[in-house]
Homo-oligomer: A and B are copies of this chain.
């Protein structure tokens, strides 16, 4: 019962299959399968059960996978205990963020961390569906994710730590020459019959537009579904519709006008997601501190 094997089981559970787990662990499916089989033999209770052509964890498997994170946490804590005796934290930290979050946070984060000697940041942007953010924590140390203000929290339970970074309002984006462009705020009533550019179903903040529509009394008329906010911005600029855009990230530009919404709560929460064991690493904690400080700066500016 070594932690590697336990971690493999955990990955099979969280990734939902042998092949997917093998991918994040940089192993062949065969190796993963063998590890699970060996673990199963060791404990004497079935840990997985076939469902269709894939498989999922049994209750016993879930229990063991949950215990596995505690093992991983204990191990990382052991490493950190030694790092305390090293004068400077050292190592590489992998950070991912959704695009607009990356644009908002990563440049400043890199600058801040560059000042700390010994820490290497590996950044990447990841555009995934709302439900897939947690799964990223298997490949990344810190996952910057966003979700609707009022939506449900993150799945993943005890295994993943959620660190709130920022709340960012979503404003109405209109062309510069739009009738609403000169307003200091708009109310739900003003939004009737506007042509909307929305994000794809299932993607973050997709539900916000629905909530706004509900307040205005009629379902919003969605004419385009675009995930990349820059493309959205270009479409809005060209008069192909209006949209909701995050204030801090797009408020500075001159291509479209952002008008605050009143009478309805529209915003997104930006959180950092980490696996509990990764959160124990000294360097990760250090980077996370910078990220939080950075977010606090933005939020209070």
Contact = CB atoms under 8 A, between A and B. Distances in A.
Interface stretch (A1-9, A165-173, A241-249, A291-299): A1-9
B85 A60 contact: yes
Interface in A1-21: 1-3, 6
A77 B73 CA distance: 13
A81 interface: yes
Contacts of A74: 67, 70-71, 73-74
A75 B71 contact: yes
Interface in A165-209: none
A127 interface: no
Contacts of A45: 82, 85-86
Nearest to A73: B74
Given A2-B2, A82-B45, A67 B59 contact: no
A214 interface: no
Counted per complex, copies of this chain come to 2
A75 B5 CA distance: 12
Interface string A39-70: 00001110000000000000110011011101
A6 B85 CA distance: 17
Interface residues of A, number: 28
A84 interface: yes
Contacts of A73: 74
A2 B3 CA distance: 8
A155 interface: no
A79 interface: yes
A3 B79 CA distance: 12
Interface of A: 1-3, 6, 43-45, 59-60, 63-64, 66-68, 70-71, 73-75, 77-79, 81-86
5 contacts: A45-B85, A45-B86, A59-B85, A67-B74, A70-B77
